[in-house]
C-alpha cells in the first residue's frame, strides 16, 4: 500500500502557519482544530513542522507559559518527508526510527498533506482486516476434496 492510497481516504484538509506566526496563535489553531501538528510554510516552501511535542517543550521550559515567541524559534526545521509513492511499511519504519508522529507528504516540492502515525496504524489495521476477511471467505468456500 502506498501513501497516495491513504491520502485518498484521509482527505486533503491541511493547516499551515508561517515561521513568524506567534506561537500562541499556532497553539490555539491546534486546539481549535483538534490537530497535533501544523506545517510551517514560507514563500510556498515547507520550512518546518510544529507538533504538540515542541509545544510541550516550550511549556516545560517556561513553567507552563507559552510566552510571546514565534513558531520559528520552536519548530522542527528539518522534518522528514515522504512522497505519494512511498510504501506505508517504509513510512512506518521511518516514523519509528526517527520517533516522528507526523510526516509531510511532498510531491516535486508541492505539499500534498501530512500523514500521522494514527493514519499509518489505521491503514495497516484496515488492510489486515480486509486480508483476514478474504482469507476467512476463502477457507469457508474451500472446495471439497474429491474422492478418487
Per-residue pLDDT at 101? 92
CATH hierarchy code of domain 3-140: 3.10.580.10
Along the 148 residues of the chain, how does pLDDT read in single tens digits? 889 888 887 767 889 999 999 999 999 999 999 999 999 999 999 999 999 999 999 999 999 999 999 999 999 999 999 999 999 989 999 999 999 999 999 999 899 999 998 888 888 777 766 666 666 776 776 666 666 5
Note the pLDDT of residue 142. 65
- What pLDDT is stored for residue 40 in this prediction? 97
Question: What's the pTM value of the predicted model, to 2 decimals?
Answer: 0.79
- Classify residue 113 as left (phi > 0), alpha (psi -120 to 50) or beta: left
Amino acid at each position: 500500500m502506498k501513501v497516495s492510497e491513504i491520502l485518498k481516504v484521509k482527505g486533503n484538509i491541511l493547516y499551515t502557519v508561517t515561521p513568524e506566526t506567534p506561537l500562541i496563535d499556532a497553539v490555539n489553531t491546534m486546539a481549535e482544530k483538534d490537530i497535533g501538528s501544523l506545517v510551517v510554510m514560507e514563500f510556498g516552501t515547507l520550512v518546518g513542522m510544529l507538533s504538540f511535542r515542541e509545544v510541550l517543550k516550550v511549556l516545560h521550559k517556561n513553567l507552563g507559559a507559552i510566552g510571546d515567541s514565534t513558531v520559528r524559534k520552536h519548530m522542527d526545521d528539518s522534518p522528514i518527508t515522504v512522497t505519494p509513492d512511498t510504501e506505508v511499511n517504509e513510512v512506518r519504519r521511518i516514523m519509528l526510527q526517527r520517533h516522528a508522529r507526523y510526516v509531510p507528504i511532498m510531491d516535486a516540492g508541492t505539499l500534498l498533506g501530512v500523514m500521522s502515525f494514527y493514519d499509518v496504524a489505521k491503514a495497516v489495521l484496515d488492510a489486515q482486516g480486509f486480508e483476514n476477511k478474504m482469507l476467512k471467505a476463502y477457507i469457508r468456500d474451500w472446495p471439497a476434496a474429491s474422492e478418487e
